[in-house]
Structure 1
Amino acid sequence: MNTSKCLAAFLCMLLLFSCKQEKQIIEKEKQENKQVNEFALVIHGGAGYQTRASISPELDSLVRKKMEEALQVGHGILKNGGKSLDAVEQTIKVLEDSPLFNAGKGAVFTNEETNELDASIMDGSNLDAGAVAGVTKVRNPISAARMVMENSPHVMLSGEGANQFAQEKGLRIVDPKYFATEKNLERVKKIKERELQKVAFLTKKHPDEKFGTVGCVALDKSGNIAAGTSTGGMTNKKWNRIGDAPIIGAGTYANNKTCGVSSTGHGEYFIRAAVAHDISAKMEYKSVSLDQAAKEVVQKKLVDMKGEGGIIAIDSLGNIQMEFNTKGMYRASIDDEGKVYTGIYKDE
């Protein structure tokens, strides 16, 4: 065989090998980009010190049942072709109306022994967002946040102005006493007593401090992602403190290109780390998966800052993520086939 024939044969083999490699790469990309769920929904009820030793079997059961109830509300909306925004709002309202979580009816007390509530919501299809902070009379702050997004030129309203806006828009207004629960009042009184005794209260030794939120992320059949978060804030908070829950990019973020995220934990760290947006940004600019982005932010970036908490998220393919660095996190999800998962402790 002459030199030209050998070269032609070699080039042919090289071309075949190249085509095979390209085919394998394309097939791998298809597998990686496969739609996992046509629609899906995930929720959290706060991250913190949940352990089997600290939670009674009765409370464990109650929390799981309430989370399943909330999931079914959102799933029903999505299954029937409803919007992710509607699913997020209605799901969170179920959690806000329960005294089991630190949001709405179960909101913790401030140092002044009042309840100040925050919430936010975001539409991943157009990056619209709305939030309220420090509301005291709105039964469902998540609905007020959506009202701000859709019926005002603003993103965030706070305090009495937010209360007034919600009332003018016809949302349900309640006496501030509606949010008061005896358990939460006892919790803040204990913390204040420790303060007087000069005992640190923002430590793992004092789970009564309880910080947390409720949140929901949904993907609908149209491919639109929405995320929302609602909270009573941090027990014993002072000076009208506002955490990450109503802050877009920290407590809540949604973008159809990447994912939707709702955060829970020690809000000061989530604000400084722009946690919700950072997960989305890593996906968009580094082309990493939701799983990798969430782990980088929650298990490394936050931990390096000594920040505690977690996130829930869904990406555009319907992948569900629940990542936290605390002892536990109330969390639950439901896929497009109606399969339900609930978890509280780290080993679930």
Structure 2
Amino acid sequence: MKYAIYLSISLLLFIGCKNDTSKSPAAESVQAETPTSNTENFGIVIHGGAGTILKKNMSDELEAQYKQKLEEAIRTGYAILEKGGSSLDAIEKTINIMENSPLFNAGKGAVFTNEGKNELDASIMDGNTLNAGAVAGVTTVKNPINLARAVMEKSEHVMFAREGAEAFAKEQNIELVNPSYFYTESRMKSLERAKEREQIELDHDDKSAFYDPSIKDSKFGTVGCVALDKNGNLAAGTSTGGMTNKKWGRVGDSPIIGAGTYANNNTCAVSSTGWGEYFIRGMVAYDISAMMEYKNSSLQEASSEVIQKKLVELGGTGGIIAIDHQGNVAMEFNTAGMYRASMNKDGELYIGIYKE
């Protein structure tokens, strides 16, 4: 009996000592090393195209219009993120603002094809799930980024094109418009000038005397947005009207996942703007993420390497915006300018147009 009582008391004391870790240095060390999630870290970045954008060619009035629209767009997405909304919601609503503005080559301000049509492309990607959606060559969808998101969330596929994409848009109650909605006088004049240059080239044997890529593709007005929300989720989206005077159903990089758009919570979110063929060949958006994942490069290191070296060596021009899983931002371009803006968790706003 005495032995049983002694054993019980000893057991109770042992259990009590095991449970009382409040003063244990080892326990304090474990508690101190436990990571805490930074749920308040968030940010958003946008672009409105890159190219031969020079101060000398820009009136004060037009510059003010671009800055005002960039600020309106980014503050729209920022407000969603600040209230705890998702990066996907922020991207969609932000891009809608630019799609609805005739200033940018997306939606309302889309350029014309050789046939005098507006053919729109867009894509979106969720960095949390790696799910993605894209559309190409649509002509009646008011906001292609909305349709791209519907493809991502409401179908088992990644990309729809042309009539099929528009049929799906109708099923999903995506807003459709008459193609005349996209008409703008400035874009039509751009098409006319492009055709005139093309005819001059055809009429002369020495085409090099008249062909100037910097004139042909003087500005890539594609729009894009990348964001990090308070839950640590990254997302990216891109929308465009493509290239002035494009033919044969040409599709650029904007709807191509990995080229024009890419997002991965483990690395970064990227949206591209530029000469699409080169961005496709270099898989530019994914390449930046891959360098971060496999080479342990920082976002800025990877962005600079890809845009200033790899893309240039291919012969490509343009730029990207990106944000990583820690909220670091990159806005890299190898052209004279890029319409761009960013906002961080502290509400600090940056707007840029020219190379600084």
CA distance in 2, matches of 1:317, 1:152: 31
Partner of 1:234: 243
CA distance in 2, matches of 1:179, 1:206: 21
1:278–1:61 Cα change, 3 Å: same
The CA deviation string for residues 22-52 of structure 1, in whole angstroms up to 9 with x for no partner, is xxxxxxxx9xxx9797000000000101010
Q: Out of 266-275 and 185-194, give the one that drifted further.
A: 185-194
Partner of 1:80: 83
TM-score (norm 1): 0.88
Structure 1 residue 316 displacement after superposition: 0.4
Q: 2:298 aligns with which of 289, 292, 307?
A: 289
The secondary structure found in structure 1 opposite 2:290 is: helix
Structure 1 gaps of 5+ residues are: 1-29
Structure 1 residue runs of 4 or more that deviate by more than 6 Å after TM superposition = 34-37
Partner of 2:4: none
The secondary structure found in structure 1 opposite 2:342 is: strand
Partner of 1:336: 345
Q: 1:254 aligns with which of 260, 263, 287?
A: 263
Partner of 1:15: none
CA distance in 2, matches of 1:190, 1:290: 39
Asked whether 1:203 is paired with 2:213, we answer yes
CA distance in 2, matches of 1:180, 1:275: 31
Structure 1 residue 56 displacement after superposition: 1.2
CA distance in 1, matches of 2:183, 2:116: 9
Does the 8 Å CA contact 1:35/1:317 hold for their aligned counterparts?
no
Asked whether 1:183 is paired with 2:186, we answer yes
Name the aligned partner's letter for residue 75 of structure 2: Q
Partner of 2:164: 161
Name the aligned partner's letter for residue 324 of structure 1: F
1:253–1:143 Cα change, 3 Å: same
Does the 8 Å CA contact 1:210/1:235 hold for their aligned counterparts?
no
* Percentage identity across paired residues of the two chains: 61
Structure 1 residue 88 displacement after superposition: 0.4
Partner of 1:142: 145
Partner of 2:127: 124
The secondary structure found in structure 2 opposite 1:149 is: helix
Does the 8 Å CA contact 2:261/2:270 hold for their aligned counterparts?
yes
CA distance in 2, matches of 1:149, 1:122: 8
Partner of 1:267: 276
The CA deviation string for residues 289-330 of structure 1, in whole angstroms up to 9 with x for no partner, is 000000010000001111000000000000011000000000
Partner of 1:38: 41
Name the aligned partner's letter for residue 297 of structure 2: V
TM-score (norm 2): 0.86
CA distance in 2, matches of 1:299, 1:202: 21
Does the 8 Å CA contact 1:115/1:232 hold for their aligned counterparts?
yes
Size of the aligned set, in residue pairs, is: 314
Partner of 2:16: none
CA distance in 2, matches of 1:69, 1:251: 23
Does the 8 Å CA contact 2:195/2:245 hold for their aligned counterparts?
yes
Structure 2 gaps of 5+ residues are: 1-34, 202-206
Structure 1 residue 135 displacement after superposition: 0.4
Asked whether 1:308 is paired with 2:317, we answer yes
